[in-house]
Chain A
Amino acid sequence: MSRGRHSEGSAGGPPRDGSLTLTAASVSYGRQAPALLDVSLTVPHGAQVAVVGPNGAGKSTLFKALVGLLPLRSGRISIHGRPPNDQEDPIAYVPQREEVDWRFPVSVRDVVAMGRYGRVRPLRRLRAADHAAVDEALAGLDLAPLADRPIAELSGGQQQRVFLARALAQEPHVLLLDEPFTGVDAAVRESVLSVLEDLRAREVTALVSTHDLRLASERFELVALLNRRLVAYGAPADVFRPDNVQAAFGGGAIMLDGMLVVDQCCEGRRRWTG
């Protein structure tokens, strides 16, 4: 895969601090109370961060702000030293699956190819390198046999893999995954995790929102616990302390024999079959 300027020579160079930084960032929809309040955090280059918190904690809002879809009311976001709307290198954002119309008349390959559209100017067609990246992304998520299927015929897990393949085709330096484990079976979950392992090796910075606290603590080196404000941020062992969890989840959290149980029923956990 081709690499952009930000990762070139990083192996022997000085450690890059903060490929992505939020400084006292607040976001609100219209005149409502802020969905995200005064959040400051720095994600080191190549780190993988689980973003957890109750429903309405601002996880999706955070991602949308990071790609410049929502303006900041105050504070600052800097990715590779630039604001979200002025990025030279691709940031791949994988929204929740409900964000698009899956009855749209396109094939799996068409959707994955859209990941390359940012590199092709209007009036131009995709080049050989683009088609190669699409094929590689399809193969990486075992989608090659489904490449010519209309997306209307896919299951929820297949849809999730198509979205992820499209993000890989972008060859991003920063990847934002919104709820990739919601409503998918164990096999899809494993394939998402193995993609994340590959990306770790390639030093792609990744933020992944999830409801699965156990997964967050076992498979990620950093956890951001969010409830409009940033309640805690750091290594899983430091973040998942009873006081932090209580602060984020309130009465929904209980400790049982040293194990954390959180009742986060039920919104956003429905299986989406289309």
Chain B
Amino acid sequence: MDWLTEPFTLPFMQRALIAAVIVGVVCAVLGCYVVLRSMAFLGDALAHAVLPGIAVAYLAGTNTLLGALVAAVLVALGISAFAQHGTIREDTAIGILFAAALALGVLLISTVRTYATDLTHILFGDLLGVGREDLFISGGLAVMVLATVVLLFKEFLLVTFDPLLAHTLGKRPGVYRTVLLLLLAVTIVISLRTVGVGLVVALLVTPAATAYLLTRRLVRMMLVSALLGVASSVIGLYVSYYLDVSSGAAVVLVATGFFLVAYIFAPRYGLVWRAGSARVNRRPTA
């Protein structure tokens, strides 16, 4: 069983493991709201929109996580304002912000000489380069996000399921939606080091979508999703270590593997089961 423990004798692999587990849990839980409210496009846009923040922090020599956090919060508030008062459709507004931010980020980073490697790390993650400081920041933010989800569980459930009812009960759906968007922004920032701007959306959407195929209760969906997120992260790290491939990409592909298995074999909602029950249903009438 040495092959299981061997990778984690190295300090940078230990840090990578902790970071991967944190990201796996937070993304998977927040991802449930993303999947249920069909916000995948929004999550992807938000991820790309933090690029200028990272670039500015990088150029200024401060922590890139903090730069990303500031950018993500600003963009989340911007999208929220657009959605509530804008005269153009929300997805159009997101598309414009998303592309502009990405372009601005690339433009800023292209002023640096080590442009190509830096951009690769930002776009696809650099799990093996996670430092102690990064761990503390992501850990703290992760606790904050999860605590908010627990404390405002009722309110988030209400505004995601039935904003009309939220309004008639005096619960201000706009306020809670903005809070949810801010949590999403923070979650994306936490994930940048592991999977990068380009693949964050996969960690948000894939484990949650897999869990949705396995259960129809929100709390259970979040727990299953978190479990899948952690499993994907850990297995992905092993794959990355032994095959010497990109860690972020390995994590995402493991998560995709879980999804495909559930999509085909899940009880009740999987392809096989539905094909089977369709046959059973057809028989009496035929």
Contact = CB atoms under 8 A, between A and B. Distances in A.
Interface stretch (B116-124, B136-144, B216-224): B216-224
15 contacts: A68-B167, A69-B167, A100-B164, A101-B36, A101-B161, A104-B161, A105-B212, A105-B215, A105-B216, A117-B155, A117-B166, A118-B169, A118-B170, A122-B151, A122-B154
A105 B208 CA distance: 12
Contacts of B168: 67-69, 90-93, 118
A122 B152 contact: yes
Contacts of B158: 114, 117
A172 to B, nearest CB: 10
A11 interface: no
Given A150-B216, A150-B217, A95 B164 contact: yes
Contacts of B161: 100-101, 104, 106, 111, 114
Chain B: interface residue count, which band? 20 to 34
B155 A122 contact: yes
B165 interface: yes
Contacts of B160: 104
Contacts of A93: 164-165, 168
Interface in A118-175: 118, 120, 122-123, 150, 152-153, 166, 170
A105 B221 contact: yes
B162 interface: yes
Given A100-B161, A104-B36, A117 B154 contact: yes
B157 interface: yes
Given A67-B167, A105-B220, 5 more contacts: A69-B168, A93-B164, A101-B36, A114-B165, A170-B169
Interface of B: 36, 151-152, 154-155, 157-158, 160-162, 164-171, 212, 215-218, 220-221
Interface in A83-108: 87, 90-93, 95, 99-101, 104-107
Contact of B217 (A105, A114, A115, A117): A105
Given A117-B169, A122-B154, A152 B216 contact: yes
Nearest to A68: B167
A87 B168 CA distance: 9
Contacts of A150: 216-217
B169 A100 contact: no
A90 B168 CA distance: 8
A153 B155 CA distance: 24
Contact of A90 (B169, B212, B217, B218): B169
A105 B218 contact: yes
Nearest to B215: A105
B151 A106 contact: no
Nearest to A118: B169
Contact of A106 (B152, B165, B218): B218
